[in-house]
Amino acid sequence: MRILAIDTSGKVASVAICDSEKLLWEKSVYTKLTHSQVILPMVEQALSESGFELSDIDCAAVANGPGSYTGLRIGIGAVKGMCEGCKSLKCAGISTLLALAYNCVSFKGRIIAVMRARPNISYVCIFESDSRHITRVGEDRVAKDSEVFAQLDVSAPVMLVGDNAEYIKQEYFADCRNVITANAVNVLQRASSLCLAVQADESLITSADKLEVSYLQATKAEKDKAHSDKQEEVK
């Protein structure tokens, strides 16, 4: 199966093409959330330099959250547009946290994907890795850092990955050798890890009309509306 993967969930814009278990092309750019300017040119570059047309791709995988509200919408919109333009193309929405765990799939032990949501609050999910396969221990959630990490069992090896990994390490496990952070190459989002997730679980493949964003928390527009509604009720 040939997979084109796009990740726009954070400050990195990343595109990859995988064929079976071979990585054919990958590029990641630290964009500081200017995904709308770079992601489609990166897709075009990936296809051109790999010698493929969009019709040669079996599945377009995309990070569907959690992450940047705008970034996620850009990625999802790009994949929906590609599927509309190429009717044979399937798609897959992959948890950003699951993809981050696949960055460290060769690690044997517990992997905790952690992304900053707000001060002292993170998007987090815990996984187990046998150095070849990733297994969920829990569901993606948004939680206070102290609730997740203050009493965490670290008697066995733990790998932290994601944009909040270094902060969590220094804040809660600075002196614990069993807790390490992913290296600079793998600590942030990589599109190739979306490919790994699809290859491991083809049930993630769906049609474009079923592709949705998973924010895990209310968007700013939803929060503003809720606040406005509450103000109206007070009046």
Q: Cβ-count burial of 157 within 10 angstroms (0-12 exposed, 13-18 middle, 19+ buried)?
A: middle
Cα 111 from Cα 101, distance rounded (Å): 6
CATH classification code of 98-181: 3.30.420.200
* Domain topology for 2-96+189-219: Nucleotidyltransferase; domain 5 (3.30.420)
Distance of CA 202 to the CA centre of its chain: 17
* DSSP-assigned letter for residue 162: S
Helices (H), the chain: 35-50, 69-85, 96-103, 145-149, 165-172, 191-200, 220-234
Report the alpha-carbon distance of residue 52 to residue 35 in Å, rounded: 23
Domain boundaries, the chain: 2-96+189-219, 98-181
Query: What backbone phi and psi angles, to 5 degrees, belong to 197?
Result: -65, -40
Segment 219-226 long-range contacts (CB within 8 Å, at least 24 positions apart) = 219/69, 220/69
15 SS3 class: strand
Cα distances (Å, whole numbers) of residue 101 to 22, 143, 160, 190: 19, 18, 9, 10
Phi, psi of 9 (to 5 degrees): -80, -15
Q: Is the full-model pTM beyond 0.85?
A: yes
* 2-96+189-219 and 98-181 share one fold: yes
Helix 69-85 × helix 35-50 angle, to 10°: 40
Distance CA 133, CA 204 (A): 16
- pLDDT tens, the chain, 235 aa long: 999 999 999 999 999 999 987 999 999 999 876 899 999 999 999 999 999 999 999 999 999 999 999 999 999 999 999 999 999 999 999 999 999 999 999 999 999 999 999 999 999 999 999 999 999 999 999 999 999 999 999 999 999 999 999 999 999 999 999 999 999 999 999 999 999 999 999 999 999 999 999 999 864 443 444 434 444 554 5
CB 58 within 8 A of CB 90: yes
